Amino acid sequence: MSRLLGSVRARATLGATLVVAVALVAAGTAVLLSLRSNLLGEAGTQAERSAREVATELAIGTPYGELSLDVDDRPLQIVDEDGRLVAASEDLERISGTGVGAVKPRPAPAGDDADAGDSDDDDSGESLEAGEIGERITVSDGSATIDGDTEDYRFAAVPVETDRQGRLTVWAGAPLSAEHGAVNTALTVMLTGFPLLLVVVAWVTWLVTGRALRPVEGIRREMAAITASEDLARRVPVPGTHDEVARLASTTNETLAALESSVERQRRFVADASHELRSPIASLRTQLEVAAAHPELLDLDGAVEDTVRLQRLAADLLLLARLDAGERPADARVDLAELAREEAGGRDGVRVRAEDDVTVAGSRGQLGRVLANLLDNGRRHARSAVEVSVRRDGEAAVVAVADDGEGVPAADRERIFERFVRLDAARSRDDGGAGLGLAIARDVAVRHGGTLTVHDAPAGGALFELRLPGAWSSTVPTEGIRRT
């Protein structure tokens, strides 16, 4: 049962059925109450009509014995001002709901007829003239037994002023059998029809939900197959409905494509890293093997150079791995002018022009690596000099590294930031490193909320421009740094 209710299809069907059930119960209750109210109102009107017919006869002086009291076998009572029953239906055996339980008239005491006409007041406070019929004074529900048959009735009371008997009240009843029958019939229809309607609603909802969720099941099966096969080139089917399910399938395929691309980049990275590591390790091993056999031939400088190169490559790979893992940059304040002077201090042919108080928030070590990589790249390709400028540009801090070399072709200005990319033979492993410096610089810039681009330098070489959010005023908070 719990497994069934865990299905979206089952929950949707149950939810729709419950909503319709609540709506049907509310609507059915309202219909029954309205029907009962209307039928009770109609019975009250009929009772008042019967009472007025008898009151009219009394108003014109018709004696009690000649009144139409037995028409339609309805209960009728005529009560005087003292609450004494003076006339009633002939076959009336029992009555309740009128306030007068007597069913047999009692004769008036001597002298009452002479004094009856002197009263002008009734219980309702309405003043009537002789022969005038008043407004209905009350409506009540009760029961009566006529000729052995007991039924429920709605009673209405109408006052009338007579010449001889004074103020009289006529009680007349209308049967409620029609009201009971109609309400019971409606209730029976509802109790029979509502369950059938709920079954139909549940069945239709089950079918419609199943049809709507069929593409989702297809997506699930395909995703399960992709997981089992580890074939990220596969894609889930996209239905042609242009609805939320279709958008889900499209988004899933986009995610698979991004994952496939990421895995492919990871594979290339591992392959390139292995290839780059193999060269210095093989060179170092060869030199050590030669030294072991012929100590006099040991190239100590070459061994140290290969070791340093291997150490740098391992450090670059470690930093890239930490960046890929989303390592959060620090929130320290870094003075880019001071940092640029420090990095340029040990390098020949590098000039620095820097404004004061150009600060950013981030990792001093990572930003130092960016400047070092840009300076190494500039010195590697410059003919004579590399120039570094640090300045403000609006709310951004800008570091520009320009050389007077051959520059970077426009078609390759994005490609050079890819990992293990060397544009030509001049950028060999011996002279140009492993091709990770610019990739590291771009990744660090992005994770600090900035950009790193390359343009033509005024001297004709390459101009690398690093732009970062400034941290010298409250308008540029350190929270502006993008976190990963």
Domain span(s) for CATH 1.10.287 in the chain? 244-315
Tell me the CATH number for domain 244-315.
1.10.287
Phi/psi of residue 152, nearest 5 degrees: -85, 145
Cα(57)–Cα(158) distance, rounded to whole angstroms?
13
Quickly state the pLDDT bin for 427 (edges 50, 70, 90): very low
Domain span(s) for CATH 3.30.565.10 in the chain? 329-480
According to CATH, the superfamily of the domain at 329-480 is Histidine kinase-like ATPase, C-terminal domain (3.30.565.10)
Query: Which tens digits make up the pLDDT trace of 35-81?
Result: 999 999 999 999 999 989 998 988 888 888 888 887 677 899 999 98
pLDDT > 80? residue 104: yes
Query: Which tens digits make up the pLDDT trace of 9-36?
Result: 888 889 999 999 999 999 999 999 999 9
Query: Which tens digits make up the pLDDT trace of 316-327?
Result: 888 877 777 777
What's residue 396's pLDDT? 93
Cα(482)–Cα(478) distance, rounded to whole angstroms?
9
Quickly state the pLDDT bin for 335 (edges 50, 70, 90): very high
Mean pLDDT for 418-438 is: 64
Cα(277)–Cα(280) distance, rounded to whole angstroms?
6
What is the pTM assigned to this prediction? 0.52
The distance of Cα 153 from the centroid of its chain, to the nearest Å, equals 55
Cα(319)–Cα(367) distance, rounded to whole angstroms?
12
Query: Which tens digits make up the pLDDT trace of 114-147?
Result: 344 444 444 455 677 777 888 888 889 999 998 8
Query: Which tens digits make up the pLDDT trace of 441-476?
Result: 999 999 999 999 999 998 788 999 999 999 875 444
Q: Is 457 helix (H, G, I), strand (E, B) or coil?
A: coil
What's residue 291's pLDDT? 81
Cα(446)–Cα(481) distance, rounded to whole angstroms?
9
What's residue 460's pLDDT? 83
16-20, 263-267, 429-433: segment of lowest average pLDDT: 429-433
Quickly state the pLDDT bin for 302 (edges 50, 70, 90): confident
Q: Which two tokens stand for residue 415?
A: 């490609």
Query: Which tens digits make up the pLDDT trace of 365-414?
Result: 899 999 999 998 888 888 888 999 999 999 999 999 999 888 899 888 89
Tell the residue number behind the tokens 């009540």, with chain if given.
Answer: 140
Phi-psi region of 425 (alpha: psi -120 to 50; beta: other; left: phi over 0): alpha
3-state secondary structure 143-202: EEEECCEEEEEEEEEEEEECCCCCEEEEEEEEECHHHHHHHHHHHHHHHHHHHHHHHHHH
DSSP string, 23-62: HHHHHHHHHHHHHHHHHHHHHHHHHHHHHHHHHHHHHTT-
Which residue stretches of 230-299 are H helix? 244-293
Q: What percentage of the chain reaches a pLDDT higher than 70?
A: 89
Across 199-213, 291-305, 387-401, the highest mean pLDDT is recorded for: 387-401
What's residue 479's pLDDT? 36
